[in-house]
Amino acid sequence: MTSFTHVELTIKDAVATIQLNRPEKKNALNPEMHQNIHDALTEIEHDRGVKVIVVTGTGDAFCGGMDLEKCFLEPFDEPEAFDASNQLAVSWSRRLKKFPAATVAKVNGWCFGHGFQLAGLCDIVVTAEEAVFGMSEINFGIFPGGGTMWVAAHNMGRKQALYYALTGESFTGLQAVSLGMATRAVPKAELDAEVDAIVASLAGKNVHALRTTKHVYESAVELDFPKSIDVELAKLYELSYLTENEWIRKALEQFKRRAYRPGLQSYTIDEER
C-alpha cells in the first residue's frame, strides 16, 4: 500500500478507506493533500475488487475545507501554481462523484467548505450528531465555489441551501439529516459501529449490481422518464450478461423456494451448493 503524506489509505477485502490526516489543521486541504487524494483514488481504481470507499477524518474534524493560506494566499502571485492547485481539487472531486464503487462519508467532526463538498459528493453520509457542517465562505466575502454550491443545491432544498450559503451559519450533524446533507446521524460514540454495519451490508452485495445501481440513479436524475426507462432496460441486460444471469439463476430461484425474503435479507450463492 502506497504511503501518503496527509492521507491514510487502507484496502481490506472489498473496502477501501481514505482517512484525511492533517488533524493540526482540522484536515484542511493543501495542494499536497489534493494530490494525495488523487493518487489514492488511482490506487483504489486499480483494485477491481473494491466495492465500497469510506472517507473520514482524523481527530475532531472530517475536513475543515481548503487551507486558505496554502491554496490561495501563498500561490496568489504565481498564477500557474494557483490554477494547478485548484484544478487538482476539482479533478479528484469529479472522480469521486463518478467513482463506480459505493462511497460512504463518515463525518466525525468539523465539515466545512470543500469538506462540505466532499461529504455531499458521497453516496451515503453517516455523521456524528455532534459534527458541525457549514458553508462559511460568505463570511470572508466570497461564495461557496469549486462545486460546493452544486452540492448544496443537489442535496438540500432551495430555501435551506440559500439560507446557509447566504448567512454562513452552521448546523449540526443531527440537523444535517433533515436538511438533506446526511443519510443518518448517530451519537459520536456509535459512529464507527454504524458505518461498519452499513459497509458490511454493501460489501456483501454483487459488485456489478452496486455499480449499475449508481449508474442508473445518476442517469435517472438527468433524463426524462422515457429515456430513463431505456437506460434502465439496457443496464439490466448488461448486468445480466456480466453476472451470467445470476439474479435470475440464483436470486429468483431462491425466492421461488422461499429461501430468502426480498426486503428482509439477501440471497446467498452458498444455498445453491
- Map 168-183 to HEC letters: CCEEEHHHHHHHCCCC
- CATH number for position 87: 3.90.226.10
- Residues 183 and 57 both lie in one domain: yes
- Residues 199 and 216 both lie in one domain: no
- Residues 34 and 156 both lie in one domain: yes
- Residues 114 and 229 both lie in one domain: no
Of 172 and 240, the structure prediction assigns the larger pLDDT to: 172
Range of the domain at 241: 207-272
Question: Would you say residue 2 lies in a domain?
Answer: no
What H or E segment, with its residue span, contains residue 111? strand 110-112
> In the 8-state DSSP scheme, what is residue 270?
G
With a pLDDT cut of 90, the percent of the chain lying above it is 73
Q: pLDDT value at position 182?
A: 98
Which has the minimum average pLDDT: 16-25, 71-80, 194-203?
A: 71-80
- Residues 177 and 224 both lie in one domain: no
Q: What is the pTM of this model?
A: 0.89
Question: Would you say residue 180 lies in a domain?
Answer: yes
Please answer whether residues 65 and 27 qualify as being in contact, where contact means their C-beta atoms are separated by less than 8 angstroms: no
98 Cβ contact partners less than 8 Å away, ≥ 6 residues apart: 218
- The mean pLDDT of the chain is 91
Q: pLDDT value at position 272?
A: 40
With a pLDDT cut of 70, the percent of the chain lying above it is 93
Question: What is the β-pairing status of strands 170-172 and 132-134?
Answer: antiparallel
Of 35 and 67, the structure prediction assigns the larger pLDDT to: 35
Question: Would you say residue 1 lies in a domain?
Answer: no
Please answer whether residues 120 and 62 qualify as being in contact, where contact means their C-beta atoms are separated by less than 8 angstroms: no
Question: Would you say residue 39 lies in a domain?
Answer: yes
**What's the number of domains the chain is made of?**
2
